[in-house]
Structures are given as C-alpha cells and as structure tokens.
C-alpha cells in the first residue's frame, strides 16, 4: 500500500460523515445510513485501488449497503481488502447521541477476515494489556489481568459494554467485581479503540456486536499496538451455513492474526457526532468542519486531521 492512500481514505470517511451528519437528531436512521453509504461509495470510486469488500454491513441484495464482494476503486492500483461501516451508530445519529463514526479499514488482499455480517463476541484492550486477556476466561479474571498490567486496582478499571439485554450477565459480573462501567448504546468500534487512548479513560471492552465492526476495530488496534479477540456468533442455521460455506469454524477464537494478517493495514474514521476521541461534524455558514483519525500499522503513524470543507463546492453533501 502506498503512503498516500491514507489521505485518500480519509476523504472517504469525511464525505460519509458530512452527508450523514445532516440527519442528526431527526429520528431517521435509515436515511442517515443511506447518505453515508452513497457518499462513501462515490468517493471510493475515485481512488486508485482495486478494492473488494470482504466484510461489511450488507449483502448484494440489500442495496444501498456496501455489500460483501462489492468492488471499490478505479480498478487500478493496489489490490486491497476493505472492511466498512459507513455509519457506525445509525441510532446514535438518529437520536443525536455520542460516538457515531464513519469508519473503514483496508489491508492487502487476503489479509482481512472474510466473513458474513453477523454478531461477534469481543474483548479488547490497549497496548499495556496485550497478552493478558482471554475471551474464554471469566470476567473477573480478565479484569484482574488488566488491572495488574495497568498497575491499577480492579475498582479503578473502566469497562465499556454495549447496553443490551444480552449483556446483563457481563454487567452483573462487572458490578460484583467493583469495576467501573461505561455503558454505550451503540458504537463498539469507538468502544474498542478507545481502550488504546489514555484520554478516553477506557481500559477494556466486553460483549458482542457486529462482526464488521470487530474487524475494523482489529485494524485500529493493530495500528495502536492493542489487542482484540473475537468469536463469531451465528444466530440461526442460515448464518451457520454461511460460515461453513466460507470455511469459518464458529468455535474458533479469532485472534489478531486471524482478523488482520500481515504487517500493514490502514484505519480511517471521521466523527459524525461528538465523542471522547473525535468531534462530530460542525456546519458553519458556507463550510463544514470534520475531525478525523487515520492510522497505518506498518509505520505506527497516528494522525488526527481537522478538515474544512466548502459546502458550496459540494452540493452532493447537502441533504435533499
């Protein structure tokens, strides 16, 4: 992958964020997702690359999603695997909440997990606790391991969990252990990568969420030196059959090298609504402001990018 590709990919997430942010708080999550997807696809197709979506939020018959197997880019340039979530947090945008992102990840062809869009059980930590977690271990054991690695008491560890009924047992165990909990309504990509940034105050992520988000988070954590473990959770026979057809063992613990192989990958995200790490899109009289993050695993480079975008020159970004 060329170094210049990082900035090209930021253009993709910026466009998706600018388009979807117009729908903030309007209660229309599908319209917000459609706006992000359309903008992301349009800009992707200007980038010199031969990209294939290997894990995304839709299938081919679920347009306008960026579906698994879809080709992206001009058809010239490096051959890349792409993992996408044009709007990570559709409900967040619909309600005007925190931590909605336009986010994507790319790696050389064959290096990202190729899997169906389904649930994935996850546990994630930042660099200080790499090698200390085990998705098969009890919650208390993982808490103690992270606390020891970060020279903290368990009572000072902050765990992020999606606020879902399916996570009631995890939340109960966290409370019994005395750990601090940050419940989030949506957006577990942000929840996972926040474990690698001190300023967010998050130490560990527990629970299940989307598999595309798990792969995207794995690329982000690879760039940051963190760790995520996952396990696919088919919800019915159809999903189990799709995993079998793709030669995926659903009992396997997916480690970093399973989710993202090789020594190079790029993660890009732009804030749609405000979060701990990135500010959301701000619209001024004639321009929009964006706050983005782009990281490359090979160089270990982490860039925060402030963008100013003329709205007059980009009428396609204005909600119709």
**CATH number where 41 lies:** 3.30.540.10
Give CA 136 to chain center in angstroms: 23
By the 10 Å C-beta count (0-12 exposed, 13-18 middle, 19+ buried), 253 is classed as: middle
- Is 261 annotated among the ligand-binding residues? no
pLDDT at 320: 38
Range of the domain at 143: 119-259
Q: Where do we find the tokens 């619909």?
A: 94
- Is 213 annotated among the ligand-binding residues? yes
Residue at which a domain ends, from 259, 278, 300: 259
The radius of gyration of the chain's CA atoms, rounded to the nearest angstrom, is 19
Cis before 64 (ω within 30): yes
Mean pLDDT on 311-320: 55
Identify which of 117, 61, 123 has the alpha carbon closest to the alpha carbon of residue 85.
Answer: 117
* No. of helices (H) and no. of strands (E), the chain: 9, 13
pLDDT tens digit string along 48-106?
A: 999 999 987 665 445 457 888 999 999 999 999 999 999 999 999 999 999 999 999 99
pLDDT at 313: 62
**CATH number where 252 lies:** 3.40.190.90
Check residue 44 and report its DSSP letter: H
Distance from the first to the final alpha carbon of the chain: 36
In our burial notation (b when 16+ CB lie closer than 10 A, e otherwise), range 80-104 reads bbbbbbbbbbbebbbbebbbbbbbb
Identify which of 84, 93, 90 has the alpha carbon closest to the alpha carbon of residue 66.
Answer: 84
- Residue 317 pLDDT more than 80? no
Cα–Cα distance measured from residue 317 to residue 50, given in angstroms and rounded to the nearest whole number: 25
pLDDT tens digit string along 172-181?
A: 999 999 999 9
The total of structural domains in the chain comes to 2
Tell me the pLDDT of the chain averaged across its residues: 93
Residue at which a domain ends, from 211, 226, 259: 259
Cα–Cα distance measured from residue 251 to residue 221, given in angstroms and rounded to the nearest whole number: 23
- Is 249 annotated among the ligand-binding residues? no
- Is 186 annotated among the ligand-binding residues? yes
- Is 90 annotated among the ligand-binding residues? yes
pLDDT tens digit string along 169-203?
A: 999 999 999 999 999 998 899 999 999 999 999 99
- Is 276 annotated among the ligand-binding residues? no
Mean pLDDT on 136-162: 98
pLDDT tens digit string along 232-281?
A: 999 999 889 988 888 889 999 999 999 999 999 999 999 999 999 999 99
This prediction has a pTM of 0.93
pLDDT tens digit string along 3-54?
A: 689 999 999 999 999 999 999 999 999 999 999 999 999 999 999 999 999 9
- Residue 2 pLDDT more than 80? no
For a pLDDT cut of 70, what percent of the chain falls above it?
A: 94
Residue at which a domain ends, from 259, 279, 300: 259
Q: Where do we find the tokens 């999550």?
A: 29
- Is 262 annotated among the ligand-binding residues? no
- Is 121 annotated among the ligand-binding residues? no
- Is 119 annotated among the ligand-binding residues? yes
pLDDT at 116: 83
- Is 108 annotated among the ligand-binding residues? no
- Is 238 annotated among the ligand-binding residues? no
Residues 102 and 143 in one domain: no
- Is 89 annotated among the ligand-binding residues? yes
Mean pLDDT on 133-162: 98
Phi/psi for 232 (5° steps) reads -70, 145
- Is 164 annotated among the ligand-binding residues? yes
Residues 241 and 274 in one domain: no
pLDDT at 66: 85
- Is 203 annotated among the ligand-binding residues? no
Residues 123 and 244 in one domain: yes
- Is 172 annotated among the ligand-binding residues? no
- Residue 319 pLDDT more than 80? no
Residues 199 and 129 in one domain: yes
pLDDT at 245: 87
Cβ–Cβ under 8 Å, residues 14 and 290: yes
Beta strands 79-88; 50-55: pairing state: parallel
């Amino acid at each position: 992958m060329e170094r210049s590709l990082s900035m090209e990919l930021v253009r993709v997430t910026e466009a998706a964020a600018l388009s979807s942010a117009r729908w903030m708080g309007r209660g229309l999550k599908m319209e917000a997702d459609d706006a992000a997807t359309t903008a992301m696809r349009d800009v992707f197709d200007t980038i010199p690359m031969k990209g294939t979506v290997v894990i995304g939020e839709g299938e081919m018959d679920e347009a306008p999603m960026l579906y698994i197997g879809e080709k992206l880019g001009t058809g010239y340039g490096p051959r890349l695997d792409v993992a996408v979530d044009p709007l990570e947090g559709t409900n967040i945008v619909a309600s005007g909440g925190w931590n909605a992102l336009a986010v994507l990840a790319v790696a050389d062809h064959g290096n990202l997990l190729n899997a169906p869009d389904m649930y994935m059980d996850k546990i994630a930590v930042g660099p200080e606790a790499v090698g200390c977690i085990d998705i098969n271990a009890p919650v208390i054991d993982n808490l103690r391991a992270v606390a020891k690695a970060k020279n903290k008491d368990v009572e000072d560890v902050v765990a992020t969990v999606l606020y879902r009924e399916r996570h009631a047992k995890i939340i109960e165990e966290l409370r019994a252990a005395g750990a601090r909990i940050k419940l989030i309504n949506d957006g577990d990509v942000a929840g996972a990568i926040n474990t690698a940034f001190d300023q967010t105050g998050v130490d560990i992520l527990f629970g299940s969420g989307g598999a595309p988000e798990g792969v995207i988070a794995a690329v982000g954590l690879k760039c940051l030196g963190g760790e995520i473990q996952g396990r696919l959770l088919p919800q019915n026979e159809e999903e189990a059959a799709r995993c079998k057809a793709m030669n995926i063992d659903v009992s396997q613990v997916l480690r970093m090298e399973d989710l993202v192989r090789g020594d190079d990958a790029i993660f890009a995200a732009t804030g749609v609504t405000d979060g701990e790490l990135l500010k959301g899109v701000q619209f001024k009289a004639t321009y929009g402001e964006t706050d983005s993050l782009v990281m490359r695993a090979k160089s270990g480079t982490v860039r925060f990018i402030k963008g100013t975008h003329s709205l007059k020159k980009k009428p396609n970004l204005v909600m119709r």
